Structure 1
Amino acid sequence: MKRWILMAGLMLTLIPEGLLAGQNGSDGSGDMVDAGKVVVTATMTEKRVADVPGAVEVITGQELIEMNAQTVADALAEATGLVVTTETGRQKRPSIRGTGNNHTLLLIDGRRLAAGFKDLLGLEQIPMDMIERIEVVRGPASALYGSDAIGGVVNVITKTPSRDLSMGLTAQYGQSIYHEGQEAIGSAYLSDTWGRLGMLLAGGYRDKDGYDRDGVPPDDGDDIEFGSGGGRISFDLNDHHRLLTGLEVVDRNAGGLRNIEQMDRQRDADDRRLNYFLEYAGHPTDLSSLMLRVNHSEHENDYDFDPPTSLIAGGIGDETHAQRRLDQAEGRFSGMFFSRHLVTIGGEYREEGREDDSGLDEDIDNLSAYLQDEIQVVDPLYLVLGVRWDDHSDFGSQWTPRVSMTYSILSHLRLKAGYGEGFRAPGFLELYVPTYMKCGKQVFEPNADLTPETSKSYEIGFEGEYRRFSGRVMAFKNSIEDMIEAVYYSSSGTGRSKKDYYQYQNIGDATISGVEAEWTLGLPMGFDLSGNLAYLDAENGDTGEELEGRPDYKGALKLAYHHADMGLKANVRVEYIGERYYADEPEDDVTLVHAYLSKQIMKNVMLFAGIDNIFDTGADSDIEPTFYYGGVSLRY
């Protein structure tokens, strides 16, 4: 299967233009849509993907439906050059271009969120109820977004109130091939506008049973209850100025059996999250825009064990109960000057804090300002220059510049290149809090002497469309100085009592380079073939050894079918994750195959069904076994 994916990727990347026929690209109906998608994350101004000077991927709401994504982790599983990893507390985190799970900034509508358990914002904690699309920017984005964006940005874009009445309801049920892991899901939304006032309400509930393949602790999957809700209220002051407020609420409980301190214990974890904001967005003139926003985010967790256990040896450090908060005020102005310069200037003040059972009560703040100039130098050349200044209360000031370009070689062929610098300040966890993973079998010790990471990144590539084919090939190199990694230094015990010890350290220089390829090909009779393939070479500059947890290859293929007259949509998806190096034991490569089918039976009623992990691979990892599901969706 691995050879098949690699060969298919290479063949599609090298298809001669003359062999392709039809119109520009395909979305299932023969029309190219990728280059025309509008994104905002890459430059903070609306841009077509074709014009953005860098690698950007848009996962649309329809694509989320057709992969049956129940979490943002599900939605990102097949994204180019992005690997979803399972971290402490079974939290899901993204790693873009091998930079690591702490180097990808997660946003909702450009808003930062408070961290979660062990200072990680898990992808499973972001509600799916109101998602319109997800934008993934690969490459350094610290020149706009500051700390944590060394690898890139994942920005979840939510819906706003609709102009006309719209509502929907979805219900589904599924279970694994072993008759475990039963899952019931329900979600609903309602939206309308009355004059200048708009409203959107959405919510969902998910109840998933645990499962265990071998009957030996830990359980392979937890019992999960997940409830979420959110809303938006908009008020149009006039045609050019709008107020928007909203919130997201999440309550997640996960319980399962763990073997801790040589005893089987029931672990019960509660995570509660609340986000709310108030925003003004307007156009002072036809060629300018202004945004002002205040944002609050908070997270609280409670972790219990039965029978009880000590805090440290129990595998959760001092976070039996912990609270985190983030307050953010920001503003930016964009305007056109001298007909060729689109200038964006902005600033942000952010304060973050946490309290936990150890007595830790810490606050940090960050003040920043940024400037960006998008220049249409000549008709084929589009240049973006940017720089940001951050002043961190614990680590001082940092400047992060960026320069990138798009050069139109032909009407449907573009050269894109860029250079950017980034930084990331150490988190509370790395500085102060011991972390226990894999039920305490891996101990990650903090280090109060850590210094911020800095990076220099380069990328260059080509992208274009020709009739029914679109594609992109991008090469990149990231040089990270003072990279923070959990470095293995010893083990104790044997068998089920074995523990591996790590400590967070600035390992010096790390070099991560690779090549990414993406393509979409419109086929006859309503079929589409799309895919991506990424090669990665990640090396510890001090030791010359491979960095842990980065797959050498990662790719995906999707064959999709769409018949509008019959109301049919279907796809088969192949997901490949290559071998990953770990100091104690490498993790084998894995290939997953999924399928989805939907049928519109009436104008407002759709039935759907699917199978995840058809061949039940990944039994030795945290990948779920073969899972069958089906449901109904009502829309008005």
Structure 2
Amino acid sequence: MSLSFPAARRSLSALAVLALALPAHAQNKLDTVVTTATRTPQRLSEVLADLTVITRADIERQAAASVADLLRNNGCAEMVRNGGAASTTSLYLRGADTRHTLVLVDGVRMDSQATGGASWQGIPLAQVERVEVLKGPASAIYGSDAVGGVVQIFTRKGGGKTSADLGVGVGNLGTRKLDGGIFGGTGPLDYAVTLAGERSDGFNATLDVPGSFSYIPDRDGWRKHQASLRLGARLADGQRVEGVVLRSHVNGQYDASKSQPQNDDRALQDTDAARLSWTGQWTPALQTQLSYGESRDRYETRPSPYLTITHVRNLALTGSYLLGAGSQLNFQAERIEDKLENSGLVTAGVGKRHRNAIGAGYLFNAGAFSLQAHARHDDDSEFGGVSTGTLLAGYEIAKGLRIVGSAGNAFRAPTLYQQGTVYGPDLSQPGVQALQAERGHNVEFGLKYGSGDTEVSATAYRNRVGNLIVFGAAGSCRSAFGCYQNVAAARLQGLSLAGSTTAGIVNLRATVDLQSPKDAATGQRLARRARHTATLNADTALGDWLLGAGVQASGARWDNAANTRKLGGYALVNASLQYRIRPDLRLQLNVDNAFDRETSTAYGYASTPRTALISLRWSPQL
């Protein structure tokens, strides 16, 4: 059995309308404190931007294969993957390219200066406490990369009485999972240590389709190993220091060429991040944080010899000062250093650059009216200065119902690979200029309703991204095959609907995205973006049982920029069943793609078939 997208879309839309119209109950999620929207703590009810929060409970209930799957399942982004959970993965936030989403893990910037954007397949999930997804440009707060939005991932913390968390799971496709952690604190100290491992025999990631050069009828498995350590200490009242270290290793099989089926081709992805921070509450009005972070993204293929390593260093001073009732000033000073090691670089295989930035924000709240203004200037060592700004306003037209609007711009700096290889501009030629930053200009308008545990939002947006860097015709570089050039522009516009509520004993969450991401010059839809996507998730507790189900639906997409090769739409059904054996012991069954729908998000590559995972989780107090 499978569901067509039109039928699924009609069902999802009807269910979403029903879910959003239901009355509220119990817990007030709007009191949740978030930081991504302004880089300072805010209650969710005060956020003017389009922000989604995914909690640890959501993560455990859904048992997603990766961070990318988690975001797709919750309607935050479209996902494209070349095979299984260890394969190259892209996420499109509001139709923007994957390189236009800034990814932070505990405040550490994750990026690849070879491909541009974070390597989603290498970001660990087992250690994640929550995820905040900010849709819309945020360069006025974070600098480069945040053209489409920001995804900030927070790992698990310790504190209080010592506790443990141990999970073990087995499933079809030869999947085995094991993760564990110890969390606690004593006196002024707190700690959290986690370890995780996963193995799977996988499935055949490639399809036997016309033009496929890599189809090999075998199974492409993967292995993942992850670890994290967090230590914190309260030095005095209002003074806290913290250190975080995490590492992830992914070893995935892939089919490189059907002419060499005997090869055991593997992609090795190592993701490392570390951060030290000192937070000080100097007076009731003044708070600062000084932080230093490093990340490393290492990607290697074997036996074909390819290796690229990106290092990112980030030193930042951020803070806030309360000017008076309902009035706050934010400030920041930051230095970001990028380094790329890649044999394709003409500068002895190593490229470097840095950016210095200063910024400020003003937050004002006077009863029903809210206003936020953010501005930032980044000075890049390669292409000079970029100034960005965002203005947001909101007005409560009825109790719990606000009208909001914003306008702002953003940018993405060219990667060191685009600048520094033979495909980058040859500045020795007359009239050839260095690559410029890609620029986004966005306006949006929305309605937000929140009361109790009910949240509803509708956001209409239009984002024009210019100076897009594409691989175009030869002539401006030293390669005869083609050159990177600033020649394209995209128009991203659409309507996002989201809501959650509780109807009796059933928790409901729904999203619907209607979008039109197009090439501004040709009018063609951008590759691998659907016009319609939707999700619906529901769960309910019946005594010691917790039952859940969800649907992710996507319309048809074009696989190429010329819009000549079509990828069909799909609707996938997931289900979960959890039984509480005792307060600290739970047994869980997760079935994803329950009807074994055959889908493809990239031409020539298969998506994950039906999977079933049985897991046991023990969370004792020690």
Asked if Structure 1 and Structure 2 have the same fold, meaning a TM-score greater than 0.5 normalized by the shorter chain, the answer is yes
Superposition pairs of residues 244-323 of structure 1, within 5 angstroms: 244-259=242-257, 265-305=263-303, 320-323=306-309
Which residue does 1:368 correspond to in 2?
Answer: 357
- 1:601 maps onto 2:577 in alignment: no
Q: Deviations over 1:600-624 (max 9, x none)?
A: 0112110000111011113445310
The aligned counterpart of 2:466 is: 481
Native 8 Å contact 2:274 2:293 kept in 1: yes
- 1:624 is matched with 608
2:515 is the counterpart of 1:536: yes
* 2:161 match: 164
8 Å Cα contact 1:258/1:266 also seen in 2? no
CA distance in 2, matches of 1:219, 1:35: 50
Change (3 A) 1:277 1:466: closer
Distance 1:257 1:340, change over 3 A: closer
Aligned positions of 1:122-271 closer than 5 A: 122-175=119-172, 181-212=173-204, 217-218=215-216, 222-259=220-257, 265-271=263-269
Select the residue among 613, 622, 627 that pairs with 2:593. Answer: 613
- 1:215 is displaced (CA, Å) by 8.6
1:56 to 51, 54, 58: 51
Is the 1:219–1:257 Cα contact (8 Å) retained in structure 2? no
Tell me the amino acid that sits aligned with residue 47 of structure 1.
Answer: Q
Secondary structure at the counterpart of residue 338 of structure 2: strand
Moved more, 446-455 or 551-560: 446-455
Partner deviation per Cα, 1:155-204 (whole Å, 9 max, x = no partner): 001222221111110000111xxxxx311000000012121122111010
User: In 2, are the aligned partners of 1:81 and 1:534 still within 8 Å (CA)?
Assistant: no
Letter in 1 for 2:330: T
Kept in 2, the 8 Å contact 1:20–1:468? The answer is no
Output the CA distance in 2 between the equivalents of 1:613 and 1:94. Answer: 19
Alpha-carbon displacement from aligned partner over 1:578-618 (angstroms, at most 9, x marks no partner) = 11122341211111111011010112110000111011113
Partner of 1:454: 439
Does the 8 Å CA contact 1:189/1:200 hold for their aligned counterparts?
yes
- Other-structure match for 2:212: none
User: Match for 1:186: what amino acid?
Assistant: L
Higher relative contact order (CA closer than 8 Å, sequence separation 6+): 2
CA contact (8 A) 1:146 1:423 kept: yes
SS in 2 for 1:62: helix
Contact residue 116 and residue 300 of structure 1 kept, 8 A = no
In 1: Cα distance, 2:62 partner to 2:471 partner: 34
**Equivalent position to 1:379, from 367, 375, 397:** 367
1:37 matched residue in structure 2: 32
After superposition, the C-alpha distances for 1:470-509 in whole angstroms (9 at most, x for unaligned) are 31111000011112245699xxxxxxxxxxx986543333
Specify the code of the residue in structure 2 equivalent to 1:603.
P
Partners of 1:129 and 1:193 in 2: CA distance = 21
Q: Check if 1:80 corresponds to 2:75.
A: yes
Is the deviation greater in 349-358 or in 416-425?
Answer: 349-358
The reply on whether 1:335 has 2:327 as its aligned counterpart is: no
How far is 1:260 from its partner?
5.8
Does structure 2 retain, via aligned residues, the 8 Å contact 1:507–1:540? no
Provide closer, same or farther for how the CA distance between residues 12 and 408 of structure 1 changes in structure 2, counting only shifts above 3 A: farther
Alignment correspondent of 2:397: 409
Which one-letter code corresponds to 2:455 in the other structure?
S
Structure 2: which amino acid aligns with 1:591?
A
Distance 2:594 2:473 in 1: 36
Cα shift at 1:118: 3.7
User: 2:107 aligned with 1:90, yes or no?
Assistant: no
Residue identity in the other structure for 1:476: Y
Figure out how many residues of one structure are paired with residues of the other and give that number.
586
- Cα gap change, 1:157/1:50 in structure 2, threshold over 3 Å: closer, same or farther? same
The equivalent position to 2:98 in structure 1, one of 95, 98, 101, is 101
Map of 1:27 onto structure 2: none
Letter in 2 for 1:123: W
For the 8 Å contact 1:12–1:519, the answer to whether it is kept is: no
Cα offset for 1:115? 2.3
The aligned counterpart of 1:590 is: 570
Report 1:109-128 matches (<5 A).
109-115=106-112, 118-128=115-125
1:35-54 deviation per Cα after TM superposition (whole angstroms, max 9, x unaligned): 33221000112112221111
Q: Are the equivalent residues in 2 in contact too, given 1:211–1:219 (CA < 8 A)?
A: no
Q: What is the match of residue 492 of structure 1?
A: none
Distance verdict in 2 for CA 1:292–1:629, change over 3 Å: same
TM-score by length of 2: 0.88
Residues 529 and 486 (structure 1 numbering): CA distance in 2 closer, same or farther, change over 3 Å? Answer: farther
TM-fit CA distance, 1:451: 2.2
Q: 1:502 to 1:264 in 2, by over 3 A?
A: farther
CA RMSD of aligned residues (A): 2.6
* Corresponding residue SS for 1:509: strand
Amino acid aligned to 1:597 = L
Closer/same/farther in 2, CA of residues 456 and 424 from structure 1, 3 Å limit? same
**Preserved CA contact (<8 Å) 1:236 1:243:** yes
Secondary structure, counterpart of 1:90 in structure 2: coil
The answer to whether the Cα contact below 8 Å between 2:207 and 2:606 also exists between their aligned partners in 1 is no
Separation in 2, partners of 1:425, 1:114: 12
Distance 2:267 2:329 in 1: 46
Unaligned runs of 5+ in 1: 25-29, 176-180, 312-319, 435-444, 490-500
Q: Distance in 1 between matches of 2:34 and 2:519?
A: 34
- Check the 8 A contact 2:82/2:606 in 1, yes or no: no
Deviates more, 1:83-92 or 1:139-148: 83-92
Contact 1:249 1:273 in 2 (8 A): yes
SS in 2 for 1:77: helix
> Which residue matches 2:330?
344
Report if the CA contact (8 A) 2:545-2:579 is conserved. yes
- TM-score (ref. length: structure 1): 0.87
1:373/1:467 Cα in 2 relative to 1: closer, same or farther (>3 Å)? closer
Aligned residue runs from structure 1 range 452-601, under 5 A: 452-465=437-450, 469-486=454-471, 504-524=484-504, 526-563=505-542, 566-581=543-558, 582=560, 583=562, 584-601=564-581
CA distance 1:219–1:149, change in 2 (3 Å): farther
1:428 to 403, 412, 416: 416
Specify the code of the residue in structure 2 equivalent to 1:350. Answer: I
Return 5+ residue gaps in structure 2 as ranges: 209-214, 427-433, 475-480
